[in-house]
Structure formats: C-alpha cells, structure tokens
C-alpha cells in the first residue's frame, strides 16, 4: 500500500520541474510545501488532464482519500487512499474514475513499514525514493463530491497500487504504481483502460533506507524524518 509520502519541493519548484503541466490553482496552496510526513486527508497538488479532448494538463489541489461523486455528504467511513491494480477497473468505488479521471501524484518519496515479527506489532519504517533523488509521479484517480452544507465541490484522489518489485518485496507485498515520464500523458489521456501501465517500477532505479519510528505520527513533520538511521537489508539493492 501507500499511506504516507514526502514532498521536498516547494509549489513553485514542483511546477518548474514538471513543466508539461501548467500551474493551475495550486498557487493558492501557499506555503504548505515542502511536507516531510504527508498523510491522508491532507490536500496535495496533483496533475489532471483538463479536458479529455485536449492534451493540456494542469496542477490542481485535491484531498488524499477518494470519495466518489455519488457520496454527496462525503461518505460515512474513512475514504480509501489506495486502489488496487487488480480491482481498479471493476470496483464500484474506483471504476468510473479509472476510466476517465486519472491523475498524477508528484512526490519525492514515500514511506513503508516492514513487519519484524509474526504479530505485526514490531515494524521498521523505510523511506523510498528514486536512486537519482529526482521527483516522480504516482498513478492516481480522482473524484469530486458536493459538500452537503456548503455545496462546495471537493476534489479527492487515491493512489493506484500493484505487486512489489524486487526491492520492495524485501519489506512489503505492495507498492504504489510509479509512472515513467514517457507514460505521464498516456495515463492522463482518454484511453479507458491503460492496464499495462499498472506494473511495478524497475528496482534498479529506486532506493530505500531505514528511518526513525517517529515517522509514525504525522505531527512529526521535519526534514530529519527521512534521515537514515542504520543499514538494513534494502541496501543490497542500493548501490
């Protein structure tokens, strides 16, 4: 799964680095970024295709946790933050968004926890990023629902997940779908089922390292969250 991310870039930096998408509405997010320990329910800059009939893509703000449009009051339980590759095209919660409302979720990295005992109570958190430290885009889907009090349209999103690559399999059985730059516009486009893009990203382009357990609380949101604390099995793949 993917339930926590970090974004080292400011909004202007992110727009410059992903210049194929215009700034859109994210300027009003102000000084919310960088964010070192980003959790669900917060708002993030995502990239959507403005109209399926055009090739224009732009940044918008969206809340992490997908709420479908038919859930007029936002739903009564925590919204899903991930959509599994195996069911994204058929699950009633995801299928319409997958067919026509896909998005890119730009980040600098994400976090995952490795279970250290059978009970799952002991866990070691890891930070995961690109080996060259460049930002990357996760595959997402987005929706809008109407707030029952204000009538405001609220945009939400979830991140697609798939089976792990060789690197991630050493600590977990899932990973987010990461898209190569050459696939960004195809993912955003009108194709209803780009299923072949929902696959593990190459291990040799990624790295991960063990970090302190304080990442478990989103209140801890400082740059040292991603500091390495020691050597772990992941470094067999981090050369």
- Contacting residues for 205 by C-beta, under 8 A, at least 6 apart: 130, 131, 132
Residue 222's alpha-carbon distances to 8, 38, 130, 182, 238, in angstroms, are 11, 11, 20, 32, 24
Catalytic residue among 19, 25, 86, 112: 112
Task: Give the count of beta carbons closer than 10 Å to the beta carbon of residue 23.
Answer: 14
Q: What domains does the chain contain, in order, with CATH numbers? A: 5-236 (3.90.1680.10)
Q: Please say if 162 is a catalytic residue.
A: no
Cα distances (Å, whole numbers) of residue 18 to 9, 30, 147:
11, 18, 31
* Tokens, residue 237: 């793949």
Q: Provide the percentage of residues in the chain whose pLDDT is more than 70.
A: 91
Note the pLDDT tens digit of each residue in 4-36: 999 998 888 888 888 888 887 776 776 788 999
Catalytic residue among 2, 103, 143, 162: 2
DSSP 213: G
Distance CA(133)–CA(175), nearest Å, equals 18
Burial class, 203, CB count within 10 angstroms (exposed 0-12 / middle 13-18 / buried 19+): middle
Q: How far apart are the first and last CA of the chain?
A: 25
**Does the annotation mark 112 as catalytic?**
yes
pLDDT digits (tens, 9 = 90+) for 52-104: 555 689 999 999 999 988 875 655 678 999 999 999 999 999 999 999 999 99
């Amino acid at each position: 799964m993917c339930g926590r991310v970090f974004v080292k870039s400011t909004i202007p930096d992110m727009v410059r680095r992903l210049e194929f998408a215009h700034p859109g509405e994210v300027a009003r997010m102000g000084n919310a970024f960088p964010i070192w320990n980003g959790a669900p329910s917060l708002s993030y800059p995502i990239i959507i295709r403005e109209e399926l009939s055009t090739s224009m893509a732009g940044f918008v703000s969206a809340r992490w946790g997908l709420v479908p449009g038919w859930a007029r009051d936002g739903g009564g339980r925590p919204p899903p933050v991930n959509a599994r590759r195996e069911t994204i095209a058929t699950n009633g919660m995801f299928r319409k968004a997958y067919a026509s409302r896909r998005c890119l979720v730009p980040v600098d990295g994400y976090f995952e926890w490795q279970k250290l005992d059978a009970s799952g109570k002991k866990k070691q958190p890891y930070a995961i990023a690109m080996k060259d430290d460049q930002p990357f885009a996760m595959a997402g889907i987005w929706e809008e629902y109407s707030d029952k009090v204000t009538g405001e349209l609220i945009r939400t999103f979830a991140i697609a997940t798939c089976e792990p690559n060789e690197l991630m399999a050493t600590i977990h059985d899932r990973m987010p779908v990461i898209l190569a730059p050459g696939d960004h516009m195809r993912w955003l486009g009108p194709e209803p089922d780009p299923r072949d893009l929902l696959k593990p990203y190459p291990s040799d382009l990624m790295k991960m390292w063990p970090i302190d357990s304080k990442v478990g609380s989103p209140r801890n949101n400082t740059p040292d969250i991603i500091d390495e604390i020691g050597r772990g099995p992941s470094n067999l793949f981090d050369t």
